[in-house]
Structure 1
């Protein structure tokens, strides 16, 4: 069994020295006189001298602005600081710069359950973006207007995003599997003028027609002036006869607009680029706004230095259009990299289907969530034996904490010379706080480093820094991709409450992200789940990821969820819920083995008070276990206040917990915590 922190891979000298970040370090030395002997010294300089660091990002990547910036940063006080004041630029213009360099190279490999694998060139992408942007202007879309999408992960959605941002309008996207209520909760906050909508999608061989859902969404958004209809499931079907309806094909049949004829809208440094939404598991989803300039400089840094992408790269990450990883996948275009767009079930028609796709597209960087990796591991898949993955260089695991076993599976089952990386950040920054460097070794379960320009630390509750111990993830220096605001958040009250209020009495202006993190002496990082779902027993804080790692190694366990409920008198109740594999039974023997595993791998404090078998574990639409809503249900909250069904991947899964919470009122655990685990 692999141990946490065990050395798994060291980069070859030619890989490390030829990386994007190594080239940047040489440029820093030659052009700026900044000597950085290794990643640690580079990171230290980037957070101690943020103005100097981010100015070099601007210069190194030759950011195009029609007006020079007056200063990099006006103040170190968060929130409210201003980045690259007075500059005027456009994010989409930078996404499409590669068109002028290699117009006939492939930018999109795209596949779905309704369409065969195909390619699109940079020239064709640029042509369609310019045509659609021109048509949007003709429809009256102005800079600052909101344009939204209810479409799958297909080229049309990416083209719509780039056309929208190219003219200075504000983009927002929801995946077509989102429920109507979820979409309306999001889009009604920002009052869109245009909606791009598809007639449905196919998943796992089954068609999901969304005509009726789109109609309900349109009816609930009085601000809409135009609906652009994409006949995706049935290209021959006539569009609905709505007054404001336009067909995608009709808009794209407009005259070509050459690069010389087209005018990108250069917008101010604080102009909104897009609105991304929090998961909305409780309460109204937060409408998080990023700027063109903030997203641009952050994504230039992230995609080049931390993912090591370039014009010869092909990046794949399994995502829907409702997750910020879709935005990041498109950000790979800033490097000249090609990307793979896939719409469908990742395990259809076979569990290793995505590896076939990686082989067919020459993927160099393969991304997925830990949940998908665990499914492959449990299925006994060995992709390296079945597919030609000779071009594959890197693995990007994101969306939830990764275990040492996840890392080891890649080296055992895919290929031994592989840069396996784990990342962690969030929708709030549309990027990562901690992640990868191609110049560093890979240790099992460990995120390689804090990302450049991200002044991340683990703190105690009273603001003391921790090394090799778990603490709150805080950021003490501003970063460009922090939200410029929440939409309709007068005075920034909700923004402050979300990320700054908890630290106000300790040190004002510190970002508290809500994750549990450990930073070790060499700079490696571990994320242990959300700190607001943290288990607290006898004053010791426990990350839920530690529990899951141990429990899900038990052969009979398919999935698990744990919460801790605080009770009167300083007591608590910590139940563990497990989904069993077929034919398994939660008997006394299995309970004993689970508890022994937790006691030996973790500590006696990790042993739950009781263990219950459930039919399913509830997940958000972005694949996160719904620990906080379940905890609230057990503490007596009604479902409508604890969670939103439309924000769930599997809404029926929450019903078991609703019944459990109701039935538990017959017991006395809320006042008398159990002292031993039993089925």
Structure 2
């Protein structure tokens, strides 16, 4: 993309907005105290943040007033990847920072959490009440014998109790891990059995799509199969009594009367900077999910930077991201508390009772930053929803999307149907760092189809196959210097080999994430999809996301899946699987239109060899299209070896692709 070629931005922040942005104020402050460049705007600040990595992170810790109970010896004890050591000597506590706003008498009664379910009724939890509940629960966890480093698990939906349980776990120095209750027992056990939790928080069921889903049998199975459990804590979301031997949530978190010791506030265990905070899991489509361990200090600093500078959130904001406890965005949402921001928890279907349900939540809660998936935006567009017309979204200043690249049509639709003065932040990162590599910058313009810029302190580059950085052409997403939230390790990976092989095998000492990206000459980032399912036709590489974006504009195509298959005879077979909209037929005319769309908009080399109608596209439990396992099935790998059954939303769909492969052979 040359400077002459790139069109005018879709949105540009006005001078007042740029001046008021927290990142602008941070830059001026860091210029005075830490030698950051005073001029040159965000681009200059970013260059400084990666060139002077230690100074930058020292400035972040200072700006956000990190409470180190013992001081750090230096910022980066060892910068080798993997194995970088951040802030050696320092001790702190994540939960202490998340609850700091409760200490402010002017804010103590303001809402820390707003909770909405499918009835659209709202419940608020104040800062002082959240702090009190965390204190009570932390004391009970200690009484149950939970010690620093012990794992505490939650089989919970996105409800206030899940936030309280995470913070109480962090307060005692425990290690939190969670799964959403729509995960079946096998999927949960694939995750929790690896980390051997001592406590399990659980619900009796959940509500989704207007129906109640009982989970008592699943919970009983989890209890049987997790022999390390010392306690189970029951949250009666559907109103059932606690099962035998389980403790009742309301008893453990009840006020103790006359401001007794548990009402005095939590006791925050001061732990080393690199003490584990939580375990997140990869999607695990081709084996056991990776159990990714991130640190209290690393997450604290990374999320302060991301939420306070990139998302521009503060005490006056309300932060809503549609997520579940099985996705890293839930952990990221909870960190909104760090900046004194009210976080909005929604538990329910994204499209119930109608496709615009999430916009309704944003309206009712006065959301200022609304986060969702690119897939939801495109579904609203396809359903001809008009959120700006049908809802009062006047408080929404930013819509952020992740999960997959937001196609250009998604940018245009948000601009046209939500607000012309809308900051659209398409962001990209990963569970692996529980943060973003590139995305939101409140002071930069938004160009259609592009992420605004690489994030501060993130040495993001695109590398070609020779390991050389490239601008304006597709390359592997790499990060050439450590980030504080990179995993400290994987659980049950004693020699670190699985961690090393996941990120550092292709380019030793450099993090390779597995995405195809282009860095433009004006500093923005374009994501093309996963590099391990790249379409490589006659030497021309293309990301699958580019195909989806073009094909799914056609109203007849509900969703698609493209696979590029290297064949034993040296040939290359590239089928496009299409899940049709209701009433649509894959006839000759539609086939021609799909081929023409790809030929004209993308590349004649990437016109599929066959277009095949399918009953659906398989996804991971967090909603990502499954490409690599389908490729393996088509190559003849048996289903039980091609995919981890517990990681997919619909195993029967994969049997369809397996049968297809068998017929083709």
The TM-score, its normalising length taken from structure 1, stands at: 0.95
Counterpart of 2:99 (choices 92, 96, 102) is 96
Match of 2:318 in 1: 314
Matches within 5 A, 1:445-484: 445-484=449-488
Q: Aligned residue for 1:368?
A: 372
Find the aligned partners of 2:495 and 2:221 in 1 and give their Cα distance. Answer: 32
Cα deviation code 1:56-82 (max 9, x no counterpart): 011111100110000100232101110
Which residue, 68, 72, 83 being the options, matches 1:69?
72
From 99, 103, 112, the equivalent of 2:117 is 112
Matched, 1:595 2:589: no
* Correspondence 1:298 to 2:299: no
Structure 1 match to 2:149: 144
Cα drift, residue 117 of structure 1: 1.2
Please name the residue that 2:414 is paired with.
Answer: 410
Distance 2:548 2:513 in 1: 22
SS in 2 for 1:11: coil
1:389 match: secondary structure: coil
Report the CA distance between 1:257 and its aligned residue: 4.2
CA 261–238 in structure 1, closer or farther in 2 if over 3 Å, else same:
closer
Q: Does 1:336 align with 2:336?
A: no
2: CA distance between counterparts of 1:318 and 1:650?
22
- Contact 1:281 1:643 survives alignment (8 Å): yes
Task: Tell me if 1:213 matches 2:240.
Answer: no
CA contact (8 A) 2:302 2:484 kept: yes
Aligned residue among 153, 157, 180 for 1:175: 180
- Name the stretch that deviates more: 640-649 or 17-26: 640-649
Task: For 1:276 and 1:6, locate their aligned partners in 2 and report how far apart those are by CA, in whole Å.
Answer: 40
Distance 2:555 2:50 in 1: 44
CA–CA distance in structure 1, aligned partners of residues 543 and 7 of structure 2? 17
Q: Distance in 2 between matches of 1:109 and 1:125?
A: 11
Within 2, Cα distance between the matches of 1:53 and 1:645? 44
Asked whether the equivalents of residues 136 and 266 of structure 2 are also in contact (C-alpha less than 8 Å), the reply is no
Pairwise CA distance, 1:114: 6.5
Report if aligned partners of 1:5, 1:445 keep a CA contact under 8 Å in 2: no
Flag as ranges the 4+ runs of structure 1 deviating above 4 A. 3-6, 256-261
Q: CA deviation at 1:260?
A: 5.5
Aligned residue pairs total 655
State the alpha-carbon separation in 2 of the partners of residues 428 and 602 from structure 1: 31
Whole-Å Cα distance in 2 between the matches of residues 464 and 518 of structure 1? 13
CA distance in 1, matches of 2:373, 2:364: 21
Aligned residue number for residue 516 of structure 2:
516
Q: Which residue of 1 aligns with 2:84?
A: 81
- Contact 2:619 2:625 survives alignment (8 Å): yes
Per-residue displacement from partner, 1:617-663 (whole Å, max 9, x unpaired)? Answer: 11111111001110010011111111123212333322221221121
Determine which of 16, 22, 26 is the counterpart of 2:18.
16
1:191 corresponds to:
196
Q: Which residue of 2 aligns with 1:262?
A: 266
C-alpha distance in 1 between matches for 2:204 and 2:373: 28
Contact 2:79 2:85 (C-alpha < 8 Å) held by counterparts? no
Measured in 1, the distance between the counterparts of 2:78 and 2:243 equals 52
- Deviation of the 1:6 alpha carbon: 5.2
Are 1:476 and 1:511, in contact at CA under 8 Å, matched by a contact in 2?
A: yes
Partner of 1:35: 37
Cα pair 1:579 1:613 within 8 Å, conserved: yes
- Find the partner of 2:53 among 40, 46, 50: 50
Distance 1:408 1:643 in 2: 36
Aligned partners of 2:135 and 2:267 also within 8 Å: no
- Return the alpha-carbon distance in structure 2 between the equivalents of residues 644 and 582 of structure 1: 30
Aligned pairs for 1:212-291 within 5 A? 212-234=217-239, 237-241=240-244, 243=245, 245-253=246-254, 255=256, 257=261, 262-291=266-295
Decide whether the 8 Å contact of 1:109 with 1:338 is kept in 2. yes
The equivalent of 1:7 in structure 2 is 9
User: What secondary structure does 2:10 align onto?
Assistant: strand
User: Once the two structures are superposed, what CA deviation does each residue of 1:201-250 show, in whole Å capped at 9, x if it has no partner?
Assistant: 0110111100000111111111011000111012xx22211x3x111111
- CA distance in 1: counterparts of 2:251 and 2:663, whole angstroms: 57
Output the CA distance in 2 between the equivalents of 1:562 and 1:500. 27
| Residue aligning to 2:495 | 491
Q: Deviations over 1:150-169 (max 9, x none)?
A: 01100001100000011000
Matches within 5 A, 1:573-588: 573-588=573-588
Structure-2 residue corresponding to 1:677: none
Distance 1:526 1:179 in 2: 35
Aligned residues of 1:279 and 1:622 also touching (Cα < 8 A): yes
CA spacing shift, 1:541–1:6, aligned 2, 3 Å = farther
Q: Judge which range, 405-414 or 258-267, deviates more.
A: 258-267
CA deviations over 1:239-279 (Å, ceiling 9, x no partner)? 211x3x11111111252546756320010122110000001
1: CA distance between counterparts of 2:162 and 2:546? 38
Give CA deviations for 1:339-394 in whole Å, capped at 9, x if unaligned: 11011011111211221211111100011001111110011111111111111100
**Counterpart residue number, 1:671:** none
Moved more, 26-35 or 311-320: 26-35
* Other-structure match for 1:615: 615
Shift of the alpha carbon at 1:454? 0.5
SS at match of 1:490: coil
| 1:436 and 2:437 are equivalent in the alignment | no
Distance 1:259 1:439 in 2: 42
Counterpart-to-counterpart distance in 2, 1:450 and 1:231: 43
